[in-house]
Structure 1
Amino acid sequence: MPIIINSDHILPDIEHHFKVLAGPGAGKTRFLVNHIKNILHNSERLKIQGKIACITYTNVATETILKRVGDHGGRLEISTIHSFLYAHIVKPYVHMIANDYDLDASNLSGHDDIVLSGYQTIQDWKAKTGQQHLRDDGLIVDTWNSLKWKFDTSNPEQLIIRPPYPVQYFTNDGYLGYKKLLWSKGLLHHDDVLFFSYELVRKKPFVLTVLRAKFPYFLVDEFQDTSPIQIALLKLIGAQETIIGVVGDEIQSIYSFLGAVPGQLNSFSLPNITDYEIQGNWRSTNEIVGLLNRLRPTLIQQPLRNIAGSNPTIIIGDKLAALAWIATQHSPDNIFSLCRENSTANAIKKGLGINLHTDLLQKLKSADLTSERRRAVSDSIKAVEYARLGYFKDALKVLGRLFNRNKTVDDQKRTLTALRKLIDNYSSYASGNLIDMVDFIRANIKPFSGLRTGAAHTFYIGTPYSHISIAVKNLYETGSCRTIHKSKGDEFDCVLVILEGRRGNAFNENNALSFLLSPNLASNEEHRIHYVALSRSQNNLFISSPSLSAANETRFKAMGIDVQRLP
């Protein structure tokens, strides 16, 4: 059984592995900050050159920890797991095994979500892997886009590359052959960082020795979101010298699409590890904590603020109308809307009430088979939308794909000039159909072949720019409307959780509301995702639903949930 502690607890022994279980609002970040300060003040092993590694999964958590820790003398390194592994394992050492994987290590410039999709790349891959019989190029690219590294069940220490679904579309050489095409160009996908990190520590054990000497303490926040490969790496690091500390909540595991597997937190173990549990909820009002307890009877939290507030309210009607109605009751600056789909979050930011869940950027890939034109349009859309959100570094990086990936000063200047033109002339294409932007890019940014007929032409003239722009994924946790995944680790005074049909499907009331009516957090990730959304609220919680039957209205009122029907 875990030892029960509170968020202010100071571990008397910092030289043992530990695991902390805690529900939403329990004070996990507060505990972690206190523990970091404890190490900084009392460790005899940290010394001048040693550092504390702290892995987080959101920028919000990073900023919060850095602000609360204060001056750490450069002895705290906080980052995402991919950034940490790239900086301390892949970048300095991957050249040692590069030849084994056809990797051009001299040309590496970071990692991103790159997926090759050009016609010539597909033909080269077919010839190299002997799979010329495959005719559906769209399915090939879709499969490449879904590839994930995972452990081979027949050889638990060997990593293999496969799509997450059980389809053997390629030969085994076909999967790895695609990766080698990517690597031969000096390109790394985020997921490849895990692969090369694992291969390096397995084949070059001295890398672990160096890593342990640099980081005698290794802390992981939101541990439930880690993947099996990350956990394997963590266990190897913690096998000697380095002390591992992990903090998390099993029921807040919502990143299966990134490889996280529910149950990893509870099963994680290292020699002489001590388990702790933080109970209670410091974040939310009594009514909100009561609803969370109803959804999760296996963890009954006490509302430690002990503040009575209003009942959670489900608002029936249009989501923009729901936001407007809430704004009559609460300060608009304090209202944050959380939704399942990236496109919904972007649409609300633009004041659009459309319910569009077809990924038009993905559809563009199949609509336009001319790779040069398709990439120019897609990367320009992403770049200008990133820039309008203030992500200029990311805008320049993605637009730089059109200009030799910014490898020279001249390339960087061309990229900057192109971005400035896109921003300055935004009004000339943003209110029209995508064809207007295509013509602007062709004339001012990157020349490519024109088009008059065919599927690409039909797509470009029939797709409003405003619709495809909302498909651009928000990179960071900013703004008053976010996806639920981007809200992890944060809290807000007033929350509106938006429910609607997903991925082009019509809204189904019973399915959408099942997380409230028949919750199954242990085995249903969609239920866990909405539990995370509800638990972000401090004082006022609202849920937007397009419709609600009289029977379900009665059930909600019996649960202490108010119902507000809009005109």
Structure 2
Amino acid sequence: MSNLEKAESLARTICGKPDTVKVNECHRTFGQRNPLCNEYDACRILEKSQEQIDYVFSSSTNNVFLSACPGSGKTEVVGLKAAYTIHQWNQPGGMAVLTFTNNAADIINRRLSQFTGIEKPGYPHFVGTIDSWLHGYIAHPFAHLKTGYEGRDGDRSIRIVENSTTSDFLYSFRAKYVIAGTGNPSANQYHLEVGPTGQKYVFSSGNQVADTARNAAPLQAYQISDLNRTKTNFWKSGFATYQDVEILTLDVLSQMPILCRLLANRFPFMIIDECQDLSWIQIQILDKLRQQGTVLHLVGDLNQAIYDFKRVNPDLVKSFTETQNFTALPLSNNYRSCQPIINICHRVVGSTSVEKSERTQSVERPGVCVIFPANQMHLLPVWFGKYLNQIGCDKNKSAIVARNWNNVSKMRPSSNTIARGPQMGLAMALHLWKSGEHQAIDDALKYIGRFVSDKYFSEYSANPRQHYCPECIASQLLWRLFLYRVLNSCCIENSLLSDLNQTWSNWSKNVRGQFGGIVRAHRRVILDSSTGILPEFLDLDGNAFRTLSQMGSKTVLKTLPPFNKREEVDNLRITTIHSVKGETLDAILLVSAPSKQGTPDGHWTQWLEDSTKEAARLAYVASSRPKHLLAWAIPTPINEPAKKRIRDIGFHIIEMNNKP
């Protein structure tokens, strides 16, 4: 069948195109009345490449590995393939489309809705995260067969406990023996890691010092036995961590082949998006289903595997697809980036694949490298904003990224140094809130969230990624609303807290007198979202909020770290590499850590040391996001051989202190 014939068949199936209308005439005739097409300038079927159409028509009875380069329209094609499969579905069971984040699942669901005309395709099919699928179809209904959990009122579902949780009930699930002098770990603070070379216990409590010591300590037989017993009791009581769920799932499928066969009949066809992020144990779970007849389509880019901390290794995915003789199909046309950016990305990861750009180069130098003094990272947003203005790139569609939040914080409007201590944190929260800066407001919420959590919710663990929302608050949205109202009340004109031109001594006195009343006034916002009894929001005393040492006579505002003004930064988005994965941007500035100290993969030299390591893949993921401009920022000192290496990759070098 020719590509045009495939397009005809696809348009009839997906769009309902009449046989009397040719596909190349459909958009301006039948398509004008079709909601799938009428909002687009061209036919969504005809615009697909030969490779994209070939995958949509690939067999749903053969295992396939679709290697998709960045910007290849992967999500669109997955949605189209899934919709085409649903339209033709004529067997028991259903199809599962799995990915790794709720956001990615939502995007695929939107594509499916467009191509099927169904608001949200449901039973017998499933579209969602791999975690939700494992939990819903295996762990919750069947894990009790492995754990012995008797359930509550007939409910034998697993209750997930976060690794960092320190709730009082976990004292019942503490190991008997101390590990590496760091105390007795709770059952939620470790898990059994299973891999191709064996298995071992890994500690992941969120306490970096304790985890590092425990993971480095050789475990004795009696300690391993103790950890086994503690974890077994944890499971038998109906609790598990996310890592435990995968272990339990694999055990259930391995020990109950009839259940595995029934599950394969329930889902005879599965598409796994972003397959490079599969862990070894997830691959084993999928292979159990494959052995019972489930057809697997793995879709992704192995060079975008950037989750080493989850023990993700793209070589395992590659080996699995090759060993099991998956049919290899490519998506090699890049519709996102211009060719010079693509070439840089290929050199970073040592790729020899042929990837063609479908985008015209719009700026004279698509690849630039700015050299900045190592102690002036906080000035990079100002430089980048001016450079984007000069070349005509949209700041609102651009971003600055770094490997970790520590370096992000040095560049965000909040400060070039992090406010230390609760007193400075509260003052910084009010200062940032009054500025009105978009990203400064987010930082203000984090500062105030940490302050309130530390002072009033010290008995509960807090989530730093959700503005330090305590675990006893069920709604993170209502927590943010609560913080928003607290900040507004603190910053009104007649509030004695709002005036940061006071001395620390006077301001601290006013905080002790007013802050408790402010949080009490807004307590009702989070009362309904509480999973327990909220603490009383009492006035702070001299021990809870004292004047900073040797700062009593100094003005609060003058002691706060500076932050960039709106006219200098123009609300440029500043975030981490992981946060922009999967996005398309006009321009990006990838910022190196100031030195190699303390980071295995955040310094530019680490990105170029070994093209097979995750450091290179991190740089590749960030560098493959932009359409028009890719910029790297690397710190001084840098010698001439290093500059030559940068130029050989494809960059034009600029000094930050010189005019762009």
TM over 0.5: yes
Superposed counterparts of 1:333-352, under 5 Å = 333-345=396-408, 351-352=414-415
Distance 1:28 1:79 in 2: 16
Residues 307 and 276 of structure 1: CA distance in aligned 2, closer, same or farther (over 3 Å): same
Q: 1:320 pairs with 370, 381, 384, which one? A: 381
SS at match of 1:19: strand
Q: 1:545 pairs with 634, 637, 642, which one? A: 634
SS at match of 1:224: helix
Q: 1:513 pairs with 604, 608, 626, which one? A: 604
SS at match of 2:352: coil
Shift of 1:62: 2.6
SS at match of 1:446: coil
Structure-2 residue corresponding to 1:90: 139
Distance 2:79 2:239 in 1: 36
Structure-1 residue corresponding to 2:342: 289
Structure-2 residue corresponding to 1:15: 61
Task: Single out whichever of 339-348 and 250-259 deviates more from structure 2.
Answer: 339-348
Shift of 1:487: 2.2
Identity of aligned residues (%): 18
Q: 1:275 pairs with 321, 325, 328, which one? A: 328
SS at match of 1:500: coil
Q: 2:357 pairs with 275, 297, 304, which one? A: 304
Structure-2 residue corresponding to 1:534: 623
The answer to whether the aligner puts 1:218 opposite 2:267 as a matched pair is no
Shift of 1:218: 0.8
Shift of 1:346: 6.0
Shift of 1:263: 0.5
Q: Deviations over 1:284-341 (max 9, x none)?
A: 1121012123224432433331523423112233332234324423222111222211
Q: Is the 8 A contact 1:103 1:184 kept in 2?
A: no
Distance 2:341 2:324 in 1: 39
Q: Deviations over 1:72-125 (max 9, x none)?
A: 442542222111111111122233333269999948575363434468856x55
- CA root-mean-square deviation: 4.6
SS at match of 1:238: helix
Letter in 2 for 1:8: I
Structure-2 residue corresponding to 1:393: none
SS at match of 1:527: helix
Q: Deviations over 1:492-549 (max 9, x none)?
A: 121111222479x4899x9822256x45221x21121111110111211112234352
Shift of 1:179: 3.4
Q: Is the 8 A contact 1:218 1:244 kept in 2?
A: yes
Q: 2:472 pairs with 402, 407, 429, which one? A: 402
The answer to whether the aligner puts 1:235 opposite 2:287 as a matched pair is yes
TM-score, with structure 2 as normaliser: 0.63
**Structure 1: gaps spanning 5 or more residues:** 361-369, 387-397, 407-411, 468-478
Shift of 1:423: 3.5
Letter in 2 for 1:251: N
SS at match of 1:545: strand
Superposed counterparts of 1:547-562, under 5 Å = 547-551=636-640, 552-562=642-652
Structure-1 residue corresponding to 2:261: 209
Distance 2:136 2:319 in 1: 29
Distance 1:52 1:532 in 2: 30
Structure-1 residue corresponding to 2:88: 42
Kindly indicate whether structure 1 or structure 2 has the higher relative contact order, using CA contacts under 8 Å at least 6 residues apart.
1
Q: Is the 8 A contact 1:22 1:277 kept in 2?
A: yes
Shift of 1:195: 1.8
Superposed counterparts of 1:251-262, under 5 Å = 251-262=303-314
Q: 2:129 pairs with 75, 80, 84, which one? A: 80
Q: 1:426 pairs with 480, 487, 493, which one? A: 487
Structure-1 residue corresponding to 2:567: none
Q: 1:162 pairs with 202, 205, 213, which one? A: 202
Letter in 2 for 1:521: S
Distance 1:218 1:541 in 2: 36
Q: Is the 8 A contact 1:493 1:538 kept in 2?
A: yes
Q: 1:191 pairs with 240, 243, 258, which one? A: 243
Residues 324 and 182 of structure 1: CA distance in aligned 2, closer, same or farther (over 3 Å): farther
Q: Is the 8 A contact 1:24 1:535 kept in 2?
A: yes
Shift of 1:182: 4.8
Q: Is the 8 A contact 1:21 1:249 kept in 2?
A: yes
Task: Single out whichever of 174-183 and 284-293 deviates more from structure 2.
Answer: 174-183
Structure-1 residue corresponding to 2:100: 57
Distance 1:486 1:352 in 2: 21
Q: Deviations over 1:129-161 (max 9, x none)?
A: 442697533x847x964645324856xxxx664
Letter in 2 for 1:90: A
Letter in 2 for 1:208: C
Give the total of aligned pairs: 499
Residues 262 and 183 of structure 1: CA distance in aligned 2, closer, same or farther (over 3 Å): same
Shift of 1:32: 2.4
Structure-2 residue corresponding to 1:111: 160
Residues 500 and 419 of structure 1: CA distance in aligned 2, closer, same or farther (over 3 Å): closer
Q: Is the 8 A contact 1:108 1:188 kept in 2?
A: no
TM-score, with structure 1 as normaliser: 0.73
SS at match of 2:314: coil
Distance 1:341 1:460 in 2: 30
Residues 37 and 107 of structure 1: CA distance in aligned 2, closer, same or farther (over 3 Å): closer
Letter in 2 for 1:33: G
Distance 2:610 2:150 in 1: 43
Q: Is the 8 A contact 2:165 2:461 kept in 1?
A: no
Distance 1:533 1:248 in 2: 16
Q: Is the 8 A contact 2:332 2:356 kept in 1?
A: no
Distance 2:573 2:461 in 1: 28
Residues 322 and 60 of structure 1: CA distance in aligned 2, closer, same or farther (over 3 Å): farther
The answer to whether the aligner puts 1:495 opposite 2:539 as a matched pair is no
SS at match of 1:532: helix
Residues 8 and 299 of structure 1: CA distance in aligned 2, closer, same or farther (over 3 Å): farther
Residues 228 and 246 of structure 1: CA distance in aligned 2, closer, same or farther (over 3 Å): same
Residues 193 and 539 of structure 1: CA distance in aligned 2, closer, same or farther (over 3 Å): same
Distance 1:203 1:559 in 2: 51
**Structure 2: gaps spanning 5 or more residues:** 1-48, 205-214, 373-378, 426-453, 492-497, 524-533, 551-555, 561-571
Distance 1:422 1:550 in 2: 48
The answer to whether the aligner puts 1:67 opposite 2:137 as a matched pair is no
